[in-house]
């Protein structure tokens, strides 16, 4: 079983940067797992520590149930693709792919047989004798993947493998990667700082910040119910609307409206408590007429997204964004009302989602909370 179990993992670089801060994480066998977070949050450090290229300052890494924290990289059975691919410029494609087998001292004929198999799996036929400088970005990425694949690893660690590609190629490469992982069924940890990529590809996502996991869940859980304001503002191509409010008589007074306290938060907040209402632009319905419980404002900006529009309403000085379907024709200056869909409003207190304790899909630092 190619599981990954990480407990209390800490990495302090010489000079004192604490890149990982007591991090816990479990990746299941065969899972396509995304690590998502802003630049500098410790994603590369985590992958390199799992691969054995960095030594942990504290905590443990278990692969397939065995503690590998002190094992050298060559004995961990992981294939890694680096952020910059790290291909050898003077070697041919075939020799680059076969390189891990040279380290393992396999015969030349054997190395080339395995490398040709990987060439076939990644659709690189005809490019075997070229050098990396003579390839497109997408082809280089596939060479790096083939090199990770050739040693038959029990897991893949991919560090932003798509970041060097342009937008269209990136989309193609991402579908290709998803299909490859489904076909091979190899446990894969995939690093990205692109939240759309993580939502599209992953079985589960860990959102990281400052060396810790801030939320662990399926793409749907992380999108619909961010566990804290950090995740709420990080996830989503248009950020969640976050409106400060005060609890009053079973409602929340926020930006001139008084939506009811969400069911899950009922009994967990008291009158007079300051909270933040979170609602995604996708979960607000736009109305041209006044509606009970809606945020009332004035249209300030209309951005066309293709099939829909992103409308920014000025609500008592706060911008409230609403995704509106085709046919929207109100001009800036028009009055508009934004009504939260039932069950979609979230309540945050002290930066954390207000939710019953028995609700376990939300996991903090790898542990139910
Ligand atoms: N070799 C090193 N020596 C000292 N500090 C380092 C080293 N490598 C990384 N760091 C620091 O550790 C922190 C985490 O870095 P890391 O490369 O893991 O981030 P990341 O999440 O991969 O970021 P990015 O999205 O930019 O690739 C950063 O503050 C970084 O400056
Ligand atoms: Mg990185």
From 15, 21, 38, 44, the mutation candidate for ligand 1 (largest count of ligand atoms within 8 A of CB) is 44
Q: What integer pLDDT is reported at residue 106 of this predicted model?
A: 87
Tokens, residue 357: 């304790």
Output the pLDDT for position 358.
53
In short, whether 192's Cβ falls inside 6 Å of ligand 1 is: no
At 243-259, the pLDDT tens digits run 999 999 999 999 999 99
Q: How far apart are the first and last CA of the chain?
A: 27
pLDDT < 70: residue spans in the chain: 358-369
> 11 in ligand 1 pocket by Cβ < 6 Å?
no
Tens digits of residue pLDDT in 98-149? 998 988 888 999 999 999 999 988 889 999 999 999 998 888 988 998 998 8
Is residue 56 exposed (0-12), middle (13-18) or buried (19+ Cβ within 10 Å)? buried
- Model pLDDT, residue 368: 38
41 lines ligand 1 (CB under 6 A): yes
The finding on whether 226 has its CB within 6 A of some atom of ligand 1 is no
**Alpha carbon distance 178, 197 (integer Å):** 11
**Nearest Cα residue to atom 29 of ligand 1:** 40
* Distance separating alpha carbons of residues 367 and 47, to the nearest angstrom: 20
Q: Determine the distance separating the centroid of ligand 1 and the alpha carbon of 266, expressed in angstroms.
A: 41
Q: Measured from the CB, is residue 77 less than 6 Å from ligand 1?
A: no
Distance, in Å, from the CA atom of 221 to the CA atom of 199, rounded to the nearest integer, reads 10
What residues have a C-beta under 5 A from ligand 2, the ion? 44
Contacting residues for 13 by C-beta, under 8 A, at least 6 apart: 19
Domains of the chain: 4-229 (3.40.50.300), 238-352 (2.40.50.140)
SS3 at position 306: coil
How much is the pLDDT for 166?
78
Dig out the tokens for 3 from the structure: 């599981």
- 246 in contact with ligand 1, CB cutoff 6 A: no
With vertex at residue 36, the alpha carbon angle to CA 30 and CA 42, rounded to the nearest 5 degrees, is 105
Report the greatest alpha carbon distance in the chain. Answer: 77
35 CB under 6 A from ligand 1? no
Q: Whose CA is nearest to atom 7 of ligand 1?
A: 13
pTM to 2 decimal places: 0.87
Q: Which pLDDT score, from 0 to 100, does residue 221 have?
A: 93
The answer to whether the beta carbons of residues 85 and 143 sit under 8 Å apart is yes
- What ligand has the least distance to the C-alpha of 36? 1
Ligand 1 within 6 A of CB of 44 = yes
Residue 67 bridge partners (DSSP):
62
Instruction: Give 290 Cα–ligand 2 centroid separation in angstroms.
Output: 48
Whether residue 193 contacts residue 39, with contact meaning beta carbons closer than 8 Å, is answered with yes
**In a mutational test of the pocket of ligand 1, which residue from 42, 83, 197 has the highest number of ligand atoms less than 8 Å from its CB?**
42
Spatial separation of the C-alpha atoms in residues 128 and 225, rounded to whole Å: 47
What residue owns the CA closest to ligand 1's atom 17?
Answer: 44
pLDDT the model gives residue 367: 41
């Amino acid at each position: 079983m190619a599981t990954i179990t990480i407990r209390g993992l800490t990495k302090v670089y010489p000079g004192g940067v604490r890149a990982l801060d007591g991090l816990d994480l479990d990746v299941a066998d065969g899972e396509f797992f995304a690590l998502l977070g802003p630049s500098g949050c410790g994603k590369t450090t985590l992958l390199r520590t799992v691969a054995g290229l960095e030594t942990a300052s504290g905590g443990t890494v278990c692969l397939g149930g065995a503690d590998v924290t002190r094992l050298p990289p060559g004995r961990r059975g992981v294939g890694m693709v680096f952020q910059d691919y790290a291909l050898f410029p003077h070697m041919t494609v075939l020799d680059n792919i076969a390189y891990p087998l040279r380290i393992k001292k396999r015969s030349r004929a054997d190395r080339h047989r395995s490398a040709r198999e990987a060439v076939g799996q990644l659709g690189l036929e005809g490019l075997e004798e070229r050098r990396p400088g003579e390839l497109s970005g997408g082809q280089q990425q596939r060479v790096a993947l083939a090199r990770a694949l050739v040693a038959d690893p029990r897991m893949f660690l991919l560090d932003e493998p798509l970041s060097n590609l342009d937008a269209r190629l990136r989309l193609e490469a991402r579908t290709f990667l998803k299909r490859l992982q489904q076909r091979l069924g190899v446990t894969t940890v995939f690093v990205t700082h692109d939240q759309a990529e993580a939502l599209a590809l992953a079985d589960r996502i860990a959102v990281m910040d400052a060396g810790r996991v801030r939320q662990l869940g399926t793409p749907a859980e992380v999108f619909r119910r961010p566990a804290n304001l950090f995740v709420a503002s990080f996830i989503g191509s248009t950020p969640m609307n976050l409106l400060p409010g005060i609890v009053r008589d079973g409602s929340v007074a926020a930006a001139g409206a008084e939506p009811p306290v969400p069911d899950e938060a009922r009994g967990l907040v008291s009158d007079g408590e300051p909270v933040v209402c979170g609602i995604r632009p996708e979960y607000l319905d736009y109305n041209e007429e006044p509606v009970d419980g809606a945020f009332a404002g004035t249209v300030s900006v209309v951005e066309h997204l293709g099939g829909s529009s992103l409308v920014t309403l000025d609500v008592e000085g706060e911008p409230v964004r609403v995704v509106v379907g085709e046919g929207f024709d109100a001009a800036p200056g028009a009055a508009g009302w934004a009504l939260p869909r039932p069950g979609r409003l979230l309540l945050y207190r002290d930066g954390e989602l207000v939710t019953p304790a028995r609700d376990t899909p939300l996991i903090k630092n790898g542990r139910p909370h």
